[in-house]
Structure 1
Amino acid sequence: MTPEQLAPIGGALARLLSPHAEVVLHDPAADEIVAIWNPLSGREPGDPSLLGELNELSPTDPDVYGPYPKVLPDGRRLSSISAIMRDADGKPAYVFCVNVDRTAFEEASRLLAAFAAPAHGQPRVLFQNDWSETLNEIVAAYVRDRGVTVDRLTRDDRLELLGKLDAAGVLSQRRSVPAVARALRMSRSALYQLLAQTRKEPHADPA
């Protein structure tokens, strides 16, 4: 096993994770960096590895360590993982370290968290006269409570729903009938027929 044989692995990892990670190949016996791809840390081949006492590892110890945290001098935080390549005697021959810059992922996480934050209530001064919002809320709540789509509402369901909309004042608003008809997936004539019935024979609340 030589650095030249391991180089394609390092190059492939760096290409896959570019530009968010550096890949480093260490020689623990010489305590130096053999090769480095996408050097986020500014290190170069020949710089000290500073990996610690790898000679104390036994053949039964793990070959992969991490992910564990590291930090760059400019404050960027890394998630790192190290893989030990052993020789025929089970001793550490080389160590691959992959250091992933978490900056882009943390920024994306913050952005997603901001979008997922609970929305503020609608400002009443803007929406207090918006009967279309009331229409949408009543219809949405009705079908959600029954677990059906608007298309699957029965005639009795539509009568009850029209009663709720009428009681909320939606159907007394100018040009509301076409919007209600669209929301309930029905024609205006059918809506007028049901509305006449629900106003003539309002559904009684169950005892």
Structure 2
Amino acid sequence: MATVKQAIKQNALAAERAAVINALRPIVPMLAAMAGPHLEVVLHDVSRPACSVIAIANGHISGRAVGSSVLEGPQNDKGFAAATRIRSPDGAVHSLVEDYVTVTASGRALRSASAIFRDASGQPFATLCLNADLSGFQAAHGWLAQMLAPVAQAMSMVAQTPAPVPAAAPAAPSQTQMDALMRQIISEAVGPGGSAQSMSREAKIQAVGAMQRRGLFIVKGGVERAAAALQVSRFTIYNYMEQLRQRE
């Protein structure tokens, strides 16, 4: 009777293991497709150490393929060390061994992580391992450091240079200067001779346009000065500006 119960239990454990392994198989190519060719993804059946690799992507990193032995993997693999420990007395407790360094047979350092899967009895039966080849990134890092070194040095020198004293803001024009500028704008707008009596209505409209473009009417008293120079009223100046606006 005990033998029958034991057989039933073993069959249940075997079915559980097979179901988990089958669920993990498609994860291998999915992770590799997302991460690219620098990440090796390996699924191991630790119950078969002589041919533990049952699924692998980017095997060129470690030189392995499906059917490879557990002994052909990178050295110093903490994932396998965790997988071969005494089974958990609390039953199924999956383990994660993250961010450790392994070394390939060719001497390349890999950044690795492993998930260990246990059955209902607490016995480890599968590991999903990630091995990232950092050699390309290390070369890129060295190149970037070399390229950026002169920039960093220049920035350091700039940081040590005392900041220039900001120049004082230019003084606002005096009233005398403003008066001179307003007279100049009006004189240039009226034109040679400067006689309003000889100007036609259209010429005066164009003169107002020139004054307006120079900003005369923004200044207090600008409209009055323009009216006096053209011998018209303030209302006429505003009327000329409205006509100019309608022509735009």
Report whether the alignment pairs 1:36 with 2:56: yes
Distance in 2 separating the partners of 1:12 and 1:83: 16
By percentage of residues, which structure has more helix?
A: 2
**Uncovered stretches (5+) of structure 1, i.e. residues with no partner:** 122-137, 147-152, 158-207
What per-residue deviation string (whole Å, max 9, x for no partner) do you get for residues 9-31 of structure 1? 11111112221011111111122
What per-residue deviation string (whole Å, max 9, x for no partner) do you get for residues 60-85 of structure 1? 77711131212223332211111112
Picking from 131, 136, 159, the partner of 1:104 is 136
Distance in 1 separating the partners of 2:65 and 2:127: 16
Q: Superposition pairs for residues 43-122 of structure 1, below 5 Å?
A: 43-50=64-71, 51-52=80-81, 54-58=84-88, 63-118=95-150
Distance in 2 separating the partners of 1:21 and 1:102: 9
1:94 CA displacement: 0.8
Distance in 1 separating the partners of 2:104 and 2:85: 27
- For the 8 Å contact 2:53–2:67, the answer to whether it is kept is yes
AA paired with 1:109?
Answer: H
Report whether the alignment pairs 1:20 with 2:41: no
Q: Structure 1 residues 155, 12: CA separation in 2 closer, same or farther (over 3 Å shift)?
A: same
What per-residue deviation string (whole Å, max 9, x for no partner) do you get for residues 133-167 of structure 1? xxxxx9x932xx77xxxxxx75169xxxxxxxxxx
Q: Structure 1 residues 88, 42: CA separation in 2 closer, same or farther (over 3 Å shift)?
A: same
> 3-state DSSP class of the match of 2:106?
coil
Task: Give the aligned CA root-mean-square deviation in angstroms.
Answer: 3.0
> 3-state DSSP class of the match of 1:155?
coil
Higher CA-based Rg: 2
Distance in 2 separating the partners of 1:13 and 1:93: 21
AA paired with 1:11?
Answer: P
- For the 8 Å contact 1:59–1:90, the answer to whether it is kept is yes
Distance in 2 separating the partners of 1:111 and 1:156: 48
1:5: which partner in 2? 23
**Number of residue pairs matched by the alignment:** 132
AA paired with 2:36?
Answer: S
1:113 CA displacement: 1.7
Q: How high is the TM-score relative to the length of structure 1?
A: 0.54
AA paired with 2:163?
Answer: A
Q: How high is the TM-score relative to the length of structure 2?
A: 0.46
Distance in 1 separating the partners of 2:27 and 2:99: 19
**Uncovered stretches (5+) of structure 2, i.e. residues with no partner:** 1-18, 72-79, 155-160, 172-248
> 3-state DSSP class of the match of 2:55?
strand
- For the 8 Å contact 1:14–1:38, the answer to whether it is kept is yes
1:88 CA displacement: 2.4
